[in-house]
Amino acid sequence: MADVSSPRPPVTPSPRPILIALLLLSAAAFLEAQLSPPELEEASEFARRAARAAVAGPIRMFAETLDIDGILSARLGAATWKGLTDQQREQLRGIVRDHFLQTLAPARGQSGDILWSWPSAVAGGDGADVLIGIQFGQRRLKTRWAVRGSGGSWRVADVILSDPGVSLADASVRALGPEPVRRRQPRREAEQAAYPRIAGLATIGLLLAIVAPRLPRGKRSLLFLTAAAPAALFAIDGALAVRRTLLEAYALAPAPAREPWRDAERRALEAEREERWSEARELWARAIAEGDPPGPIHYQLGLLARQRGDLTRARADFERALTDHSPAPGAAKELASLDAAEQKYELAHKELERYIALTGPDPEALTLLAVLRANLGMAEAGVDAVRQARGLVGEGWRGAELEAQVRARAGDAAGAVAALRRLEPEGRLDRSVLRANPAYLLIATDPTWVAFINEKPTSPPATTSSRGKESSQ
């Protein structure tokens, strides 16, 4: 009897190799989409040049780097943006451009300076986010520049003010109003444009019909010539209005008035400058009530309260700045600073890491992070933070200045003095500035620091212009 073996069941391929292959392909596509190191450096240098042009000029060069068309196309929709006429597009471009220029321009008589930068590639994209530290006089500003590839070149898609959490692209679009563009109804709007002009022509004709027969022949010709001018104006204006209505698929809203909160905001800043603190707080509250995003304002109020020494109110404002629907990340850094001063190192460390996660690293935050880690017994991690901070500012005089601030915040007066002495041969040691710098507050009464700060300078301090020149090279 023949042995008939049973048929083998069909072999079903395991899904695991297929999933692994798909994951590998996805990872390869993801890595391919990211910028290579040379491209990242190129994007970073482009962002630094754009930032330098914004704060030190020429301002025209900065304006040319902005991807205004991309900003407006994203807001209005690509089809709507393409459907606008050249004149309409240029009108909207001007509003967005002016908002960027006015926000980043230094005060009259000042020139900004680029202090440091830190680039990172955008995950799965063809652009980079470049953190750039900017200085205006004694004021420092942390910004994030979104740089994207466009037609073989680079463009600035947005500039974010990191600490208040303000996107200039979003703010400039809000300045256009709630409905900057609406689709026309050509026939109806053409009729509406034509009727008033037709009525005007009819009125002129009626007046001629009534008055002309009563005048002598010579004066009648003069009347017709006089009436011809307004009649021609009505006819030409009507023809142009109808033609524009039929040719333009969209109509722009009238030039928007300033946002309602801008006046309260301006007056609040004036009150701060004149130290009218209660009035400033009332004006900021009015600005919030009129629609100004609350997060950045509570952050500003917290800075104001801290400046006045009211740390309880400052803490409350910073906490509100983080819980509002438009949070200001800089409030986390300020809370970390307050907690560090109260020796709540673990809480301060947590808040500062939150800030860096939200906005990226900067020398000041990394300096404080190093001090906190040293106080928590995380010596190696503290050294890593200092190393990263020095990587941002470079190994020159700014690196020595940063090391001095780290040592001062750790209570090491002798180490801070040793680091600062390296600046003196270069003429970059200004003791009057050091006295006013809060970074050295912890060692202000240390005998080593007091003796150093009261020494007679061996060389004049560097001028602002010389610092600006070095940072631009």
Tens of pLDDT, residues 411-433? 788 888 888 888 877 777 888 88
pLDDT of residue 267: 83
Amino acid at 108: R
How big is the CA angle at 460 (ends 455 and 463), to the nearest 5 degrees? 130
Q: Between these two residues, 80 and 258, which has the higher pLDDT value?
A: 80
Give burial (CB, 10 Å; 0-12/13-18/19+) of 452.
buried
Q: For residues 54 and 97, give the distance between their C-alpha atoms in angstroms, rounded to a whole number.
A: 12
User: Looking at per-residue confidence, does 118 or 27 come out higher?
Assistant: 118
> Which amino acid belongs to residue 71?
I
User: 91-100, 256-265, 275-284: which has the minimum mean pLDDT?
Assistant: 256-265
Q: Which of 174-183, 307-316, 381-390 has the highest mean pLDDT?
A: 307-316
Q: Please, are residues 45 and 37 in contact by the beta-carbon 8 Å criterion?
A: no
Burial bucket for residue 416 (CB in 10 Å: 0-12, 13-18, 19+): buried
Whether the CB-CB separation of 197 and 238 falls below 8 Å is answered with yes
Q: What is the model's pLDDT at position 62?
A: 93
Q: How many CB atoms neighbour CB 388 within 10 A?
A: 15
Element (H, E) at 385: helix 379-393
pLDDT in tens, 141-191: 899 999 998 777 899 999 999 999 999 999 888 888 778 887 765 556 555
pLDDT digits 0-9 by tens, 36-71: 888 899 999 999 999 999 988 888 999 999 999 999
What secondary structure does DSSP assign to 276-335, as a single string?
-HHHHHHHHHHHHHTT--HHHHHHHHHHHHHHTT-HHHHHHHHHHHHHSSS--THHHHHH
> For the chain, what percent of residues have pLDDT higher than 70?
74
Winning range, highest mean pLDDT, from 119-123, 303-307, 331-335? 331-335
Other Cβ atoms less than 10 A from the Cβ of 230: the count is 13
Q: What is the mean pLDDT of the chain?
A: 79
Residue-range domain boundaries for the chain: 33-182, 185-247, 258-328
Tens digit of each residue's pLDDT (9 = 90 or more) over 224-238: 667 677 767 766 766
Asked if the model's pLDDT at residue 472 lies above 50, the reply is: no
Residue 458: what pLDDT? 65
CA distances from 191 to 90, 199, 232, 286 (A): 27, 12, 19, 44
Does residue 2 register a pLDDT over 60?
Answer: no
Q: Is 200 helix (H, G, I), strand (E, B) or coil?
A: helix
Q: Identify the bridge partners of residue 134 per DSSP, sorted by sequence position.
A: 114, 141
Whether the predicted pLDDT of 252 surpasses 60: yes
What was the pLDDT predicted at 93? Answer: 92
pLDDT at 32: 47
pTM of the model: 0.71
Tell me whether the CATH fold assigned to 33-182 matches the one assigned to 258-328: no
Distance CA 207, CA 186 (A): 32
pLDDT (tens digit per residue) in 337-379 = 999 989 899 999 999 999 999 999 998 899 889 888 888 888 7
Q: Which among 463, 398, 471, 460 has a CA at the least distance from the CA of 431?
A: 460
Q: How confident is the model at residue 312 (pLDDT cuts 50, 70, 90)?
A: very high
How confident is residue 29, by pLDDT bands cut at 50, 70 and 90? very low
Distance CA 278, CA 261 (A): 18
Find out whether the peptide bond into 58 is cis, omega within 30 degrees of 0: yes
Question: Which of 3.10.20.340, 1.25.40.10, 3.40.190.10, 1.10.10.10 would CATH assign to domain 258-328?
Answer: 1.25.40.10
pLDDT at 19: 46
Class of domain 33-182: alpha beta
Q: 3-class SS at 123? A: coil
The answer, yes or no, to whether residue 129 has pLDDT greater than 90, is yes
Mean pLDDT of the 430-440 span: 82
Condensed to tens digits (0 to 9), the pLDDT of residues 183-225 reads: 765 556 555 565 576 676 677 666 667 766 777 766 666 666 6
Asked if residues 145 and 135 have their Cβ atoms less than 8 Å apart, the reply is no
- At residue 468, the pLDDT reads 40
How close are the terminal C-alpha atoms of the chain, in Å?
A: 96
The rounded percent of the chain whose pLDDT value lies above 90 is 26
Helix (H, G, I), strand (E, B) or coil at 159: strand
DSSP, collapsed to helix, strand or coil, labels residue 146 as strand
